[in-house]
Amino acid sequence: MERRQFPRVVPEFVVEVLSPSDRLTDARKKMLEWMANGVELAWLIDGDARTVHVYRSGCEPRVLTGIDKLAGEGPVDGFVLDLTEIWEGL
């Protein structure tokens, strides 16, 4: 039987919004795995803490608090995410 090969496809940009059952430590590990596999930009959004963890290729993660909008860069340059509904709990 022939084995089919699939191309390695990695998104350039990843967004994850924590649910009430998610653990922040596990989500951070997942973001680091995404980055190690070639993602350029990732946002980990913690609505309960009103915090966004921004991961960029080749950089240490940055933690942003007290913001209502998040401007994209790199693969999503020009995109702006309005966080108001997330902060309000959708």
Number of domains comprising the chain: 1
Measured CA to CA, the distance from residue 7 to residue 41 in angstroms comes to: 21
Q: Does residue 90 carry a pLDDT above 80? A: no
pLDDT at 4: 78
pTM higher than 0.85: yes
- For residue 72, tell me if it sits in a domain: yes
- For residue 46, tell me if it sits in a domain: yes
Measured CA to CA, the distance from residue 35 to residue 6 in angstroms comes to: 20
pLDDT digits 0-9 by tens, 26-79: 999 999 999 999 999 999 999 999 999 999 999 999 999 999 999 999 999 999
Measured CA to CA, the distance from residue 46 to residue 19 in angstroms comes to: 8
**Strands in the chain per DSSP E:** 13-17, 41-46, 51-56, 62-65, 69-71, 80-82
User: The CATH number of the domain where 62 resides is what?
Assistant: 3.90.1570.10
- For residue 49, tell me if it sits in a domain: yes
Domain range for 76: 13-87
